[in-house]
Amino acid sequence: MPVVVVVGAQWGDEGKGKVVDLYAERADMVVRYGGGANAGHTLVIGGQKIVTHLVPSGVLHPRARLVLGDGMVVDPITLLEEIAACRERGLLPDGQLLVSARAHVILPYHRWLEAVREDQKGAIGTTRRGIGPAYESKAARRGVRVCDLGRRGRLRELVEQNLDEISRLIGRAVPAGEVDRLIADAAAAGEALAPMIGDAGREVDRAIAAGQNVLFEGAQGTLLDIDHGTYPFVTSSSTIAGGACTGVGVGPTRIDRVIGISKAYCTRVGGGPFPTEMQGEEAEAWRAAGQEFGATTGRPRRCGWLDAAALRLAVRVNGLDGIALTKLDVARGRGPLKVCVGYRLDGALLDEPPGDAEELARAEPEYMELEGWQGESREARRIDDLPPAARTYISALERLVGVPMWLVSVGAERAETILLRDPFAG
Ligand code: GDP
- The residue extents of the domains of the chain are 26-100+206-220+232-257, 104-193, 258-419
Q: How many angstroms is it from 51 CA to the middle of ligand 1?
A: 11
Q: How many angstroms is it from 238 CA to the middle of ligand 1?
A: 22
Q: How many angstroms is it from 107 CA to the middle of ligand 1?
A: 30
Q: For atom 23 of ligand 1, which residue has the closest CA?
A: 327
**The whole model's pTM is what?**
0.94
pLDDT of residue 126: 67
pLDDT of residue 124: 61
**Are the CB atoms for 222 and 313 separated by under 8 Å?**
yes
Quote the CA–CA distance of 6 and 374 in Å, as a whole number.
31
The helix (H) or strand (E) run that includes residue 132 is helix 131-139
Q: For residue 125, is it left (φ>0), alpha (ψ between -120 and 50) or beta?
A: left
Q: For residue 211, is it left (φ>0), alpha (ψ between -120 and 50) or beta?
A: left
Q: Which fold has domain 26-100+206-220+232-257?
A: Adenylosuccinate Synthetase; Chain A, domain 1 (3.40.440)
> Phi and psi dihedrals of 323, rounded to 5?
-120, 140
Question: Which residues are catalytic, by number?
Answer: 13, 41
Quote the CA–CA distance of 303 and 369 in Å, as a whole number.
17
pLDDT of residue 44: 66
Q: For atom 28 of ligand 1, which residue has the closest CA?
A: 412
On the 0-12 / 13-18 / 19+ scale of CB atoms within 10 A, 361 is: middle
pLDDT of residue 336: 95
Quote the CA–CA distance of 258 and 319 in Å, as a whole number.
7
Substitution candidate for ligand 1 out of 6, 11, 13, 18 with most atoms within 8 A of CB: 18
pLDDT of residue 43: 66
pLDDT of residue 47: 66
pLDDT in tens, the chain (426 residues): 699 999 999 999 999 989 998 999 999 999 999 998 876 676 666 666 777 889 998 888 889 999 999 999 999 999 999 999 888 888 899 999 999 999 999 999 999 998 888 777 666 666 678 899 999 999 999 999 999 999 989 999 999 999 998 889 888 888 899 999 999 999 999 999 999 999 999 999 999 999 999 999 999 999 999 999 999 999 999 999 999 999 999 999 999 999 999 999 999 998 899 999 999 999 999 999 999 997 666 789 999 999 999 999 999 999 999 999 999 999 999 989 999 999 999 999 999 999 999 999 999 999 999 999 998 888 999 999 999 999 999 999 999 999 999 999 999 999 999 999 999 997
With the C-alpha atoms ordered 410, 413, 415, 419, is the resulting torsion angle positive or negative? positive
CATH among 1.20.272.10, 3.30.1010.10, 3.90.170.10, 3.40.50.2000 for 258-419: 3.90.170.10
CATH among 3.30.565.10, 1.10.300.10, 2.60.40.1170, 2.60.120.10 for 104-193: 1.10.300.10
pLDDT of residue 121: 60
